[in-house]
Chain A
Amino acid sequence: EAGVTQFPSHSVIEKGQTVTLRCDPISGHDNLYWYRRVMGKEIKFLLHFVKESKQDESGMPNNRFLAERTGGTYSTLKVQPAELEDSGVYFCASSQVRARQYFGPGTRLTVT
């Protein structure tokens, strides 16, 4: 069974540009989560989808971040415009109902 996949694995962009990260969850997992780890600090929650609906977006840092999950399958996280402090590793995870979350390998985003 395929795990959670994320694309790209690395992205280097300039301040002010736009970047879109993609996450493909494990097939059949209704729950999809986005987290990020900035500058070696703790991994922080961004938001949670149940199917295509946003269940909890309390961790989204500001309105430069937009997450979508059209059709309840894969999800995208767009950062527009990117700022230096957005650099970090963005993780996606998926799970069945209130169960262990399975994580993807992350996308390392560098904003210069």
Chain B
Amino acid sequence: ELKVEQNPLFLSMQEGKNYTIYCNYSTTSDRLYWYRQDPGKSLESLFVLLSNGAVKQEGRLMASLDTKARLSTLHITAAVHDLSATYFCAVDGDNTDKLIFGTGTRLQVFP
């Protein structure tokens, strides 16, 4: 069974601090996605990682992919309150178009 595991499930962090969210997956997927969801809103696409060693950055968020370890990380630098949301990673399911999601990481940034 294809599995995607995220940790931590919940993260409470102070503004200005750095932290990393981890995403492990069991399939030989060639694409990994990071999404952000604000309460009651759509899942917003943050990053699509397509190859081993891929690194993408947008503002205070940086995502990387290690396909050999089947691991992706989402690093948060100098967190601000606006980053509070739930973050999901997902992979393509075994040569299909369906996405296999992790459980999500609920991030709260406080002053």
Contact = CB atoms under 8 A, between A and B. Distances in A.
Interface string A69-112: 00000000000000000000001010100101111111000000
Nearest to A50: B97
B48 interface: yes
Given A33-B98, A56-B96, A41 B103 contact: yes
B96 to A, nearest CB: 6
Interface in B27-60: 33, 35, 40-45, 48
A42 B97 contact: no
Given A42-B4, A42-B102, A43-B88, A103 B43 contact: yes
B87 interface: no
A56 B97 contact: yes
B104 A101 contact: no
Interface residues of B, number: 22
Contacts, number: 56
Nearest to B44: A103
A105 B42 contact: yes
Contacts of B88: 43
A75 to B, nearest CB: 15
Interface residues on A, range: 20 to 34
Interface in B67-110: 88, 90, 93, 96-104
Contacts of A95: 97
A48 B102 contact: no
B43 A91 contact: yes
A45 B93 contact: yes
A20 interface: no
B38 to A, nearest CB: 10
A43 B101 contact: yes
B7 to A, nearest CB: 13
Interface of B: 4, 33, 35, 40-45, 48, 88, 90, 93, 96-104
